[in-house]
Structure 1
Amino acid sequence: MRLTDGVRLGAVPAPSRVLFGPHETNLGRGRGISDRHVAYYAARAAGGAGVIVTETASVHASDWPYERAPLAAECGQGWAAVAEACRPHGAVVLAGLGHSGSQGASAFLQSALWAPSRVPDVASREMPTEMEQDEIDELVVGFAAEAESAVQAGMDGVEIEAGQYSLLRQFLSGLTNQRGDAYGEDKTRLLSEVLAAVRRAVGDRVVGLRLSCDELAPWAGITPEQAAGIVEAVLDRIDYLVVVRGSAMGTSATRPDLHTEPGFNIDLCRQIREVVGGRALVVLQGSVVEHQQAQQALDGGVADLVEMTRAQIADPRLVELVRAGHADRVRPCVLCNQKCRVRDNRNPIVSCIGEPFSGHEGECGSVAGPPRNVLVVGGGPAGLEAARVLAEGGHAVEVAERSDRLGGTASLAAEVGGRGRLRWILDWLEAEVRRLGVRVTLGTEITEADLDTDRDVLVATGSVPGPRAYEVLGGTVVDVVDLLGGCSPAAGPVVVFDPVGDAVGVGVAELLAGQGWETAIVTQDQVVGTQLALTGDLADANGRLQRAGVRLAKRSLLREVHPDHVVLEDTFTAQRRTLPCATLIHCGHRLPNPQLAEWPRAGDCVAPRTIHEAILEGRRAARDIAALVGGGVR
């Protein structure tokens, strides 16, 4: 069977074996499914997704896990709109239903969280209330009623959440279920009751189950062996099973970043599929973002379908491109979690560093118009994206790059420890501009004298080193860009100065320690790499640093650099101390390249940020240029 082949879920046919799974999007308006959701899911249906599961909606008003979390009672109209938008493309569209229990947030409802037992959540540390029988009954009724509402709205069925953020998983687990009643003696009882009620409510429509089959806490949590028993107990009530791992004990386990190899659930999924024995379809989940790995899983009997959620955030057209024989044109997902992981206090809308219009499908502008002749100065991600979009719109484009290769500083970021996959985006951009016939000139520096009004100009020349708020009284200071470009530290201890707290400082420290350097990292924060909390890598990153032997100098301001040491100052007490140092690696903020400042600009030469902003601004600049009706612009 091929990834692009159709498959039947119960009585319902799906056009491919690729599933777009439920995930937080922050696309909601209030607690309903919004017009933004509709455009988002419709784009994946048009791109060939076989099954689409909408963002998990709470089945009971006692659950409000994050500000824009859908509430099933308010989703009927939105579900109907999603079903109507996706139906012409043949995708099976299912409503995600769940309840987050003690992993929710009481701040919105200002009432106690529901849980099987009085066990504080390991993340929030909040003590929940133990559910009484009438509340359990309400929950079962809620699942059934909202499942019925979903199919009445035109959905093809539902997927029940018993995965990482789930009250149903909490009842299944000895970590959180310490009850002395029937629901504690038989921990599968609630899940069985819910699925039985849902099956009665939806009849022959699709019922799927997302189940944590390994909580990675074998001392009390769900183990693969226990999961086999859970599956046996409920198998006659479901059409498909999504095998996931993780719990509140390890929130990075279900959706890790690029430090974890794709397909991490393959062995677990194969084990559970043997238990299922063909009585239901089994879905592989676990950072599968490459069609080759997905096909291998099907060929190897690991699963019947493959969830490729982040891959389809990166490129909604994934299935159709593979089906058409253009798999090489699929925009890669690098698993960085920088824009698609949105469950944090900023409330960002789901997006992608390589496809910044993901989550903003209703706001995409056109680059059509009379053909224009455009010079893009700079071959980093902003310049390459602008060139790609313009060339795709039929415009003549030249990219002039000062160095001997494309990619800009983003290509150096890919050299940072554990972040090599970032190079994939740059390789894809370069392949696309060359496929589209963009003229690429390397080793050429463009000056003001080289520019005229015969063609439009876009400047994307990147950044330059920024200010340094410390004294250099001797010793060697190396900018991180120079280090990654090939400059070696002097012999002796290396200190990485990281006032930003993102992946760069942490990754450089990992890289140097792995090469055998005696390494320390200095931060003013109480935890190293604070910004990595946004991608889910904070705890894992600190663990990697300590295992690598990196010295962590926290709560420290860098004041002086000397030939053999640096002077640090405690951020709380102002007490000074020294740290051995032969080379300081500066990982601070950068400033815009001031060259050609009078011309339209995009990317880091506007304000140095991430690859996401660079690609987004490159695309917007391309749209603005295509909209012009006159000659060259300044």
Structure 2
Amino acid sequence: MNSLVEPCTIGDRSAPSRVLFGPHETNLGRGRAFSGRHTAYYLRRAAGGCGVIVTETASVHASDWPYERAPLAAGCGPGWAEIAQAVHEHGSLAIAGLGHTGSQGSSAYSQSALWAPSRVPDVASRELPMELTGTEITALIGGFGSAAAIAVEAGMDGVELNAGQHSLLRQFGSGLTNLRGDEWGTDKLKLLREVIGAVRHRLGDRLLGLRFCGDELAPWAGITPEHAVDQVRELADSIDYLVVVRGSAMAGSATRPDLHTEPGFNIELCRQLRAAVGNTVPVVLQGSVVDPGQAQWALDDGVADLVEMTRAQLADPDLVRKTRAGIQPRPCGLSNAKCLVRDNRNPIISCAVEPRTGYETVDPEPVVPAQATEALVVGGGPAGLEAARVLATAGHRVRLVERTGQLGGALRLAALVGGRARLAGFADWLVDRVTELGVEIHTGTEATLSDVDNAELVLLATGSSPGRREFTALADAVVLDDAEFYTRILAGYEPRELLPSGSILVHDPVGGPVGVGTAELLASHGLPTAIVTPDQVVGTQLAITGDLAEANARLQRAGVVLHKGTLLREVSPDRAVLENRFTGATREIDCAAVLHCGHRLPEETLAGERPELPKAGDCVAPRTVHEAVLEGRRAALALMTSHQLPVSTV
């Protein structure tokens, strides 16, 4: 049996585990080169036991500039050398990701036409690319070869070619985008074979991996699993490992979906392609695998030889080390909220549940505590739980007081929103950790000023309270805030028990996951549901997580009525008045109740009495779990520092 966390052999090289950290955008670069932050980022995963680390995909030709800080292979030698040296200290293999995004790139930075096999507009950007001539194809093949040579000179263990999502190599292999009548179109694998040959010539004894799309999810013209079986059989003898992925420009979010898609979605596709290549080449399973148990099952069941667990190692870089020791890693919620960074905001890669990710060079160095003291944390949501965990890990005696009957705070409520149940796993993990650390927990207890004044260290994480409503609710109108609604659901009530019969209107002035998920939840219970938003598209903030298109499709399939570009002005017992945001025209609709999914405000009862006390999370400003965890950790560290108390590893 192949163990996930034990060494394995790829080609003539050994990796310390069968876990792969795949290539992904980080925005950690300096210009178009790898930076010291990249080195620290990959080093941290190697130290945690990762077997194979594939660096952020570098463009092999200057014509490709898909995002502002996208690495360009010609300038990546020094960065690759630093990364290779750091990763090798822990025995991990360092592989250089190489690619060209073609028509799925961007012309905003290069200010030149996008490259493509044919003049087919990209379905996302709608931009028409140029069709490559023989001259550009020759330059592209040479670019892959030159990039491989630079990686070898830098000491990398090999390269991984991207013929998956955002890939010109995939575009040449697909009937969706390759309409050519010449040799590069009639033989759709010709370019990939030529690139593999050019790269192999420059690699020597180094590894050559291939990230290959086995299903474009566009069977009318795209690559299908049946096509892919024949293709990988032809390519297997020329590569050292194969990563099976899915997706195309027609299904951009399919390669890296959010928590609405079950983990392991590529299992059957991977099984098919592994059967096609037999024992010729090791095959890697990719597809939101974040649970070591599922990864081990995939190995045991013959699905794959290695497992890519990229987002799992964003949530916990020590995943392999902890799995070996029988310790539960910090769970990944697959929300994409902080790790999907290829957008015009240029955010730094991070993780919703592990804020240190991407900031490995920023955190203070821990020291071993010399003494302990008593600390009081008020509030048992994610900010309070993380603060208590940090303080208790540092050896301090911690008492945590939560006014409700359950720990987890707003995170428990968020997990009840339609499609977001995975979030509860992180709340459970935090509760398990503080319990193991011996934190004294009091639920159903309201902290008093006396409690605060008698504690040596105090940290407030008291959460939020209902925010302002920008509409008028007339007498006897049924209006519930989302937190109130989900608190009752958490207590065991069904939506039908909480709402009157008739049409339910979800008011979503935020455009985030709560409004959309609430509408989905109500519709799934058979309630006639509508959603009103001031935006032109429902759930605009879901573009950040890659769920925008899918969310709107789910709403329409569920029969939810969409009122876009619309303001809610007034609610009566059976009607709601809506106003067109642009024209000011008003109209009335049937409405038995409103679920208000708006912004909330900080809960300031104790903070108002003791404004000097440190605060964290929603009682500072209600935002997401990422900010709650980040501020809970920072506040705990700052509290110990301000009292000249030592800090341990957190």
TM-score tier after normalising by the smaller chain length: over 0.9
SS at match of 1:144: helix
Structure 1 unaligned regions, length at least 5: none
Counterpart mapping for 1:444-593 below 5 A: 444-452=445-453, 454-474=455-475, 475-486=477-488, 488-593=498-603
What is the Cα deviation at residue 180 of structure 1?
A: 1.2
Counterpart mapping for 1:204-215 below 5 A: 204-215=205-216
Q: Give the aligned partner of residue 222 of structure 1.
A: 223
Q: Give the aligned partner of residue 343 of structure 2.
A: 344
Q: Which amino acid aligns with 1:629?
A: H
Alpha-carbon distance in structure 2 between the residues aligned to 1:371 and 1:522: 52
8 A Cα contact 1:560 1:568, kept in partner:
yes
What is the Cα deviation at residue 630 of structure 1?
A: 6.0
8 A Cα contact 1:57 1:97, kept in partner:
yes
Alpha-carbon distance in structure 2 between the residues aligned to 1:30 and 1:366: 28
What is the Cα deviation at residue 179 of structure 1?
A: 0.8
Alpha-carbon distance in structure 2 between the residues aligned to 1:177 and 1:254: 21
Q: Which amino acid aligns with 1:430?
A: V
What is the Cα deviation at residue 236 of structure 1?
A: 1.7
Counterpart mapping for 1:268-417 below 5 A: 268-326=269-327, 328=328, 330-366=329-365, 368=367, 369=369, 370-417=371-418
What is the Cα deviation at residue 367 of structure 1?
A: 5.7
What is the Cα deviation at residue 92 of structure 1?
A: 0.6
Q: Which amino acid aligns with 1:279?
A: T
Q: Give the aligned partner of residue 232 of structure 1.
A: 233
Alpha-carbon distance in structure 2 between the residues aligned to 1:517 and 1:500: 22
Alpha-carbon distance in structure 2 between the residues aligned to 1:174 and 1:277: 27
Q: Give the aligned partner of residue 101 of structure 1.
A: 102
Q: Give the aligned partner of residue 610 of structure 1.
A: 624
Q: Which amino acid aligns with 1:495?
A: L
Q: Give the aligned partner of residue 148 of structure 1.
A: 149
Q: Give the aligned partner of residue 594 of structure 1.
A: 604
8 A Cα contact 1:21 1:53, kept in partner:
yes
What is the Cα deviation at residue 491 of structure 1?
A: 2.2
Aligned residues: 629
CA deviations 1:385-424 (Å, max 9, x no partner) are: 0110111111111111001110111111110001000001
Alpha-carbon distance in structure 1 between the residues aligned to 2:485 and 2:158: 54
Over 3 Å counting, the alpha-carbon distance change for 1:384 and 1:366 in structure 2 is: farther
Alpha-carbon distance in structure 2 between the residues aligned to 1:47 and 1:286: 21
SS at match of 1:526: coil
Alpha-carbon distance in structure 2 between the residues aligned to 1:5 and 1:543: 42
Alpha-carbon distance in structure 1 between the residues aligned to 2:644 and 2:278: 66
CA deviations 1:256-308 (Å, max 9, x no partner) are: 11110000000000000011111100000000000111011000100000000
Alpha-carbon distance in structure 1 between the residues aligned to 2:455 and 2:68: 51
Q: Give the aligned partner of residue 493 of structure 2.
A: none
8 A Cα contact 1:66 1:105, kept in partner:
yes
8 A Cα contact 1:195 1:234, kept in partner:
no
Alpha-carbon distance in structure 1 between the residues aligned to 2:622 and 2:416: 18
Alpha-carbon distance in structure 2 between the residues aligned to 1:433 and 1:92: 35
CA deviations 1:52-91 (Å, max 9, x no partner) are: 0000000000000001111011111110111111111110
Alpha-carbon distance in structure 2 between the residues aligned to 1:404 and 1:217: 49
8 A Cα contact 2:376 2:455, kept in partner:
no
SS at match of 2:188: coil
CA deviations 1:328-367 (Å, max 9, x no partner) are: 2x00011111011111111111111110100001112256
Q: Which amino acid aligns with 2:33?
A: G
What is the Cα deviation at residue 234 of structure 1?
A: 1.9
Alpha-carbon distance in structure 1 between the residues aligned to 2:450 and 2:195: 72
Counterpart mapping for 1:116-127 below 5 A: 116-127=117-128
Alpha-carbon distance in structure 2 between the residues aligned to 1:177 and 1:350: 33
Alpha-carbon distance in structure 2 between the residues aligned to 1:439 and 1:453: 16
Alpha-carbon distance in structure 1 between the residues aligned to 2:80 and 2:18: 22
Q: Give the aligned partner of residue 67 of structure 1.
A: 68
Alpha-carbon distance in structure 2 between the residues aligned to 1:191 and 1:529: 39
Q: Which amino acid aligns with 1:2?
A: S
TM-score (norm 2): 0.96
SS at match of 1:70: coil
Alpha-carbon distance in structure 2 between the residues aligned to 1:199 and 1:78: 22
8 A Cα contact 1:367 1:626, kept in partner:
no
Alpha-carbon distance in structure 1 between the residues aligned to 2:452 and 2:111: 61
What is the Cα deviation at residue 321 of structure 1?
A: 0.7
Q: Which amino acid aligns with 1:613?
A: E
SS at match of 1:485: helix
What is the Cα deviation at residue 453 of structure 1?
A: 5.5
Counterpart mapping for 1:155-166 below 5 A: 155-166=156-167
CA deviations 1:3-62 (Å, max 9, x no partner) are: 012111111100100000000111111011111110110010000100000000000000
Q: Give the aligned partner of residue 133 of structure 2.
A: 132
CA deviations 1:97-145 (Å, max 9, x no partner) are: 0000011100101111111111111110101111111111111111011
Over 3 Å counting, the alpha-carbon distance change for 1:3 and 1:489 in structure 2 is: same
Q: Give the aligned partner of residue 648 of structure 2.
A: none
SS at match of 2:400: strand
Q: Give the aligned partner of residue 267 of structure 1.
A: 268
Alpha-carbon distance in structure 1 between the residues aligned to 2:413 and 2:226: 44
Alpha-carbon distance in structure 1 between the residues aligned to 2:130 and 2:529: 47
Alpha-carbon distance in structure 2 between the residues aligned to 1:58 and 1:94: 15
What is the Cα deviation at residue 229 of structure 1?
A: 2.0
What is the Cα deviation at residue 371 of structure 1?
A: 2.1
SS at match of 2:252: coil
Q: Give the aligned partner of residue 243 of structure 2.
A: 242
TM-score (norm 1): 0.98
What is the Cα deviation at residue 466 of structure 1?
A: 0.4
What is the Cα deviation at residue 206 of structure 1?
A: 0.5
8 A Cα contact 1:192 1:233, kept in partner:
no
Q: Which amino acid aligns with 1:362?
A: T
Alpha-carbon distance in structure 2 between the residues aligned to 1:353 and 1:543: 25
SS at match of 2:20: strand
Alpha-carbon distance in structure 2 between the residues aligned to 1:515 and 1:437: 41
8 A Cα contact 1:100 1:167, kept in partner:
yes
Alpha-carbon distance in structure 1 between the residues aligned to 2:60 and 2:17: 29
Q: 2:633 aligns with which of 619, 624, 630?
A: 619
8 A Cα contact 2:375 2:455, kept in partner:
no
Q: Give the aligned partner of residue 255 of structure 1.
A: 256
Alpha-carbon distance in structure 1 between the residues aligned to 2:313 and 2:404: 33
Over 3 Å counting, the alpha-carbon distance change for 1:454 and 1:469 in structure 2 is: closer
8 A Cα contact 1:56 1:95, kept in partner:
yes
Alpha-carbon distance in structure 1 between the residues aligned to 2:264 and 2:280: 24
SS at match of 1:109: coil
Q: Which amino acid aligns with 2:57?
A: T
Over 3 Å counting, the alpha-carbon distance change for 1:442 and 1:137 in structure 2 is: same
Counterpart mapping for 1:193-204 below 5 A: 193-204=194-205
Alpha-carbon distance in structure 2 between the residues aligned to 1:104 and 1:251: 12
8 A Cα contact 1:99 1:166, kept in partner:
yes
